[in-house]
Each structure stands twice: as C-alpha cells, then as structure tokens.
A and B are shown apart, each in its own frame.
Chain A
Amino acid sequence: MNGLRAWTSTISYAVRAVCFVHIVHTHIYEFTETRGESMLPTLAATNDYVHAIKKHKDGKGCQIGDCIVAVKPSDPDHRVCKRITGMPGDIILVDPSMRSNVYGTEPTVRSIEELDGSVEDYDENFDSFIKVPKGHVWVTGDNLSHSLDSRTYNALPMGLIRGKIVAANDFNEKFWGGSKGNFWAFRKIENTYIDEE
C-alpha cells in the first residue's frame, strides 16, 4: 500500500513539473536548438541555441528587423527562425537579392557591370513589389542564398509567430574565450533595421 502511494506521489510530481516547464516554454521563455544555413551568419548552421521570449507570440510588439521563431506555414510540425523584413502595409521588393529564386541552387552574384549599365534598365528583381497584407509579416533568412522563406511561401500570418529571438549561445565555441564571446559565445541578437547615414 505504501509502495503504491509513493508511486502515485512521484507520478503526480512528475506531471506537475513537466506541465510547468511546458507552460513556461509556451508563454514565457524557451531555450532551443536551431539548425540550418538559412540564418547565417547570425546563427551557425549547427549546434546554435537561441533564447526566445514568448510574450511576442502572435507577433505582438514585433518590428521590422526583429529575429523571430515561427511555425512553418507548410508544415505545422516544424519551426523556422527568420528575420522580419516587412510589416503589414509595407511595400517591399519580393526578392531583390541577385540570384535565381530557386531554393538550394548556386547563387549567382552578378556584378553591376553585367546589369547593362543603365540605371533605367532595372532587373526584373527590382520591379516586383508586394504589399504585405494585414495581419502578416514578410520574413527572410539572413542568408538570402539558402533560405526557404516568404519569397517561396508568401507572407507569414502573425498567428504563426511563436516568439522573438533575443540572444544565442553557440556550443561549437569554447565555454570561455571563444571568437564570438564568452559563456559559449553568448551574444545578443539585435534588430538590424537601422538609420541609414
């Protein structure tokens, strides 16, 4: 009888602990691994862990230039980590990066001389604008060459945003004295939308 009671109380503690951690992860804060080349050089392709603040769920208080974690629109089991490059109502270029718009292909960085010289003769990439719809944000990976993002799946509904990334730790680095900073390369992830001098 005593053994049964001990088991019940152990299970009860475990359930409460797991649910507590789950609620904290959903609503307050999460420390989680990211993978993939799409956010280079901001986040490493492997073993980089991010600190996400969950009060920005549903895009609350998010601004252009913020780094966010969101559910992938084409697959709710996967999450993506991208940078907001357009807010609702903004008029932005669909894909000004100078490459073919096929995910995974070799980027072809052309020089300005190849663009026929004339300013009037805009490349098609510089003539395709989109107005970001209400309730949506435009997201792109920091590495425009290897990123599956709004350029493919269109604007992202803000309801899929799960949090804002404010900092990261890179476990490829040393605990102390690594090239990016101390404490396993702890660094803040800043908003990159700035005044142009």
Chain B
Amino acid sequence: MRFQFKRVSPSYALKLSLVTLTWIPVVMTFNENVCYIARVDGSSMRPTLNPDDSASSTDWVLLWKYHARKAQSLHRDDVILFKSPMDPSKTYCKRIKGIQYDSILTRYPYPREVVHIPRNHVWVEGDNAFHSIDSNNFGPISNGLVVGKAVKVIWPPSRWGTDLKFTTGRHEILTAKPK
C-alpha cells in the first residue's frame, strides 16, 4: 500500500490538477462560442421536439453557436435557442418563421395584422403554434438574443435521425419575400 501511495506523489497530483484547471477556460470558451449540448423542455416545439407527454422524454440537442448571431447564418425554418426578451434568465427554443426585412402575417395576440421585421431581427414561433409563447406575444427579437442553432437531436438515441425541418408549424405567413 505504502509503495503505491508513493508512486503518485502529492506534488505530482497538485501539478496535474493545476494543469487540468488551466484547461477549464478552454472548455468554457468552446461551449459558449462553438457548440454545446442543450436540453429542451416543454411542448411548444411538438411534434419536432419532445413528441411525448412522458417526463422521461426530454430532448437534448446539439447547439451550434459559432457565428449563430450573424444575419446570414439565420434562415427561415431554423430551430434556434434564444434568451427570452421578457426574462433574460429563461431560454426559449423556437423556429425562425421570418428573417430581417420579411413581412409576416401575425396571429392573436399581436396587435397588428402584418409586421415588417427590422434589420438584424427574426420572427420566431413554436411548431405547436397554439401552445407557444412566441413572437406573436413579444414581437420580433434581436439577433443579439440568439444563443445558438439546434442542428441535431442527441438524446434520446431512438430519435437520432430526426429531421428538424420535418414539420414547421404555421404555413403561408410571409406576405412578401424580399428580392
């Protein structure tokens, strides 16, 4: 026993843990700026995400973050995670239904029938349109609130092949596409 303790000397253990510590910022930087695995709760993206009612079926998605806030990397029908404009401590998962300069036909409770999306903003809605708090409540959101783009379902493994664009919620809501 004694012999084995000597093989990992305290100074070596200390050095090893210090070296490990210096890599933590690298991992954090990667998770915050390149990609990350995020959990998606709630029913607003049903049937694309969390299709079942059972609590065990919470989906985990691969979230791509690099350049995710750039207008040119946000497209219609992309699934994004973004900070709620009404409460920055909450993160919502919705689908982009309109990008900058689009005109959108809104739904209750938005007070105007047609909305023009300003520069560097997106219009987001849940696939489960009638159980979703989305842009019809809080308006277009700034690209700056985007956390990342969901590119793949990671968990549960039975749904690895899920096409995130299989169902896309409300249709025919663009009044005019910009040239």
Contact = CB atoms under 8 A, between A and B. Distances in A.
Contact of B88 (A16, A73, A133, A157): A157
Given A71-B144, A73-B144, A74-B142, A23 B25 contact: yes
A16 B120 contact: no
A71 B87 CA distance: 16
B4 interface: no
B145 interface: yes
B69 interface: yes
A157 B26 contact: no
A159 B22 contact: no
A131 B171 CA distance: 33
Interface SS, B side: mixed
Interface in A115-165: 133-136, 157-161
B13 interface: no
B7 to A, nearest CB: 25
Nearest to A156: B142
Nearest to A13: B22
- Categorize the interface residue count of chain B: 20 to 34
Nearest to B100: A74
B32 to A, nearest CB: 7
A72 B29 contact: no
Interface in B115-146: 118-121, 141-146
Nearest to B30: A19
Contacts of B145: 157, 159-160
Nearest to A20: B25
A135 B87 contact: yes
A19 B28 contact: yes
A22 B29 contact: yes
Contacts of B144: 71-73, 76, 159-160
A58 B141 CA distance: 15
Name the 8 nearest CB pairs between A and B, nearest first: A159-B83, A159-B88, A58-B88, A71-B144, A135-B86, A76-B144, A19-B29, A73-B142
